[in-house]
Amino acid sequence: MNIFNKIWGKTLYGIASVTSVIFDVFIGIVEFIVGLVINIGRGFLALISMGGCLLIMVLGPALLFNPITFFTILFLVIFPILGTKFVSYLKYIRYMITEFLFDHADNLINGRKAEFGSFNEYGNKYKRMEEEKRRKEQQRRQAEEQRQWEERFRQWSEYQNSQRGNNYGGYGSYGGNYQNMGYGNTYVNPNIEFKNKYEKSCDLLGVGYESDKYQIKLAYRKKAKEYHPDLNKSPDATTMFQQINNAYEFLNDDNIERYKSIR
């Protein structure tokens, strides 16, 4: 019985390996085609921005009423969206099937218990992994954005200090240092942009500009539940859900205090 299990396990392992290679090749082909179409679409947009608008204005009606042109434009717009979703679905299917087969092959060969007993459970694990990956990427982006804001405020503070030094000390040594730091006259007060972004984030969550972190958290939970893609099937649910998360991340404790100080 043990020998039979090992033989069957190695067979499953071989099937899993071949299946993984087939999926990888097919996914690679689809990704290449999607990338090619996206680049063609970008080239078309670049052509328009470089003067093709005039040609389209002159020949627009004739071009649009041409079935070939119409369907070509439609293809360039829709295919990248559907193709990207199809690639994601293929990766989900590949993980679900191959992990199931590899785990059960390992169970038969080495006696190690398989993690799950069905394809769907492996599929759910993949979804959790992807969600965690997106969450970490979002946190990384938010941290980078916060770092950039901090740097902009720091540079603005130094710029103002330099200007005060110039006003009090003329064009002496401090003013020279100011020029050497490369400030020139290019810095713009970040307070206005920060204030606008803060207030737009509050508007998105439906809270007042004076709200504290607890009110913001309650509003976020309500909005996130309303637009969660698993619960809301409208076409813009995913985009709105992402925007809501971004707004909530921006309305952190540090930014709440900063907004109060610059009002």
Q: What's the whole-number mean pLDDT along residues 95-116?
A: 91
Residue recorded with tokens 């004739």: 62
Alpha carbon distance 135, 10 (integer Å)? 37
Q: What is the CA radius of gyration of the chain?
A: 28
pLDDT confidence of residue 60: 56
138 Cβ neighbours under 8 A, 6+ residues apart? 245, 246, 249
What is each CA distance from 237 to 48, 142, 232, 247, in whole angstroms? Answer: 31, 21, 6, 15
pTM of the model: 0.65
User: Residue 237 — very low, low, confident or very high, per pLDDT cuts 50/70/90?
Assistant: confident
pLDDT greater than 60 at residue 239: yes
Provide the sign of the torsion angle of the four alpha carbons 88, 92, 93, 98, taken in this order.
positive
pLDDT (tens digit per residue) in 52-96: 555 555 555 555 566 776 677 778 788 888 898 899 999 999 999
pLDDT (tens digit per residue) in 180-210: 344 445 667 888 899 999 999 999 999 999 9
